Structure 1
Amino acid sequence: MWNSLWQYRSFILTSIRNELVSRFSRSRLGGVWMIINPLVQVAIYALILSNVLAAKLPGINNKYAYAIYLTAGTIGWSLFQEITSRCLNVFIENGNLMKKMRFPRITLPAIVVGSSLLNNVLLILSAICAFAIAGHIPNANIFWLIPLTLLVVMLATGLGLLFGILNVFVRDVGQVIPIILQILFWFTPIVYPLTIVPAWLSPYIGLNPMIGIISGYHDVILYSTAPDVSSMFTAFIVALALLTLSLFLFRKAAPEMVDVL
Structure 2
Amino acid sequence: MKALLLSIWRYRHFIVSSIKAEFRGRFARSKLGALWMILNPLAQATIFALVLSEVMGARLPNVDNKAAYAIYLMAGTAAWGLFSEIMNRCTTVFIDYANTLKKIAFPRLCLPLIVGGSALLNHLLLLVAIAVVFLFFGHYPNAAWLVLPLGIAMIVMFAFGLGILLGLMNVFSRDIGQVLAIVLQLWFWFTPIVYTADTLPKQYSHVLALNPMAPIVKIYQGAMLYGKLPDWHSLITPFLLAAGLFLFSFWIFRRASADLVDAL
TM-score normalised according to structure 1 size: 0.95
The alpha carbon displacement at 1:139 in A equals 1.4
* Residues 76, 220 of structure 2: 8 Å contact kept: yes
Residue 194 (str. 1) matches residue 219 (str. 2): no
* Residues 191, 213 of structure 2: 8 Å contact kept: yes
How many residues get paired? 261
Name the residue aligned to 1:248. Answer: 251
Identify if the C-alpha distance between structure 1 residues 35 and 152 changes in structure 2 by more than 3 Å, giving closer, same or farther.
Answer: farther
Name the residue aligned to 2:211. Answer: 208
Q: Which amino acid aligns with 1:221?
A: M
Alignment partners' CA distance in 2, 1:49 and 1:237: 36
**1:1-261 matches, cutoff 5 A:** 1-37=4-40, 40=43, 43-44=46-47, 47-261=50-264
Could you say what secondary structure the match of 1:138 adopts?
Answer: coil
Identify if the C-alpha distance between structure 1 residues 46 and 257 changes in structure 2 by more than 3 Å, giving closer, same or farther.
Answer: farther
Identify if the C-alpha distance between structure 1 residues 216 and 161 changes in structure 2 by more than 3 Å, giving closer, same or farther.
Answer: same
Q: Which amino acid aligns with 1:72?
A: A
CA offset digits 1:162-221 (Å, max 9, x no partner): 110100000000110011001000011111111101111001222110000111111100
The alpha carbon displacement at 1:53 in A equals 2.1
Q: Which amino acid aligns with 1:238?
A: L
Alignment partners' CA distance in 1, 2:121 and 2:171: 27
Identify if the C-alpha distance between structure 1 residues 137 and 201 changes in structure 2 by more than 3 Å, giving closer, same or farther.
Answer: same
CA offset digits 1:1-54 (Å, max 9, x no partner): 221221111000000111111222211121233454555555555555333321
Identify if the C-alpha distance between structure 1 residues 235 and 78 changes in structure 2 by more than 3 Å, giving closer, same or farther.
Answer: same
Alignment partners' CA distance in 1, 2:59 and 2:165: 37
List alignment gaps of at least 5 residues for structure 1: none
* Residues 38, 78 of structure 1: 8 Å contact kept: no
Identify if the C-alpha distance between structure 1 residues 99 and 34 changes in structure 2 by more than 3 Å, giving closer, same or farther.
Answer: farther
Alignment partners' CA distance in 1, 2:201 and 2:253: 40
Could you say what secondary structure the match of 1:164 adopts?
Answer: helix
* Residues 91, 163 of structure 2: 8 Å contact kept: yes
Alignment partners' CA distance in 2, 1:38 and 1:136: 15
Alignment partners' CA distance in 2, 1:42 and 1:182: 21
Q: Which amino acid aligns with 1:146?
A: P
Identify if the C-alpha distance between structure 1 residues 217 and 113 changes in structure 2 by more than 3 Å, giving closer, same or farther.
Answer: same
Alignment partners' CA distance in 1, 2:82 and 2:153: 10
TM-score normalised according to structure 2 size: 0.94
> What root-mean-square deviation, in Å, do the aligned CA atoms of Structure 1 and Structure 2 show?
1.5
List alignment gaps of at least 5 residues for structure 2: none
Identify if the C-alpha distance between structure 1 residues 197 and 134 changes in structure 2 by more than 3 Å, giving closer, same or farther.
Answer: same
Alignment partners' CA distance in 2, 1:50 and 1:208: 26
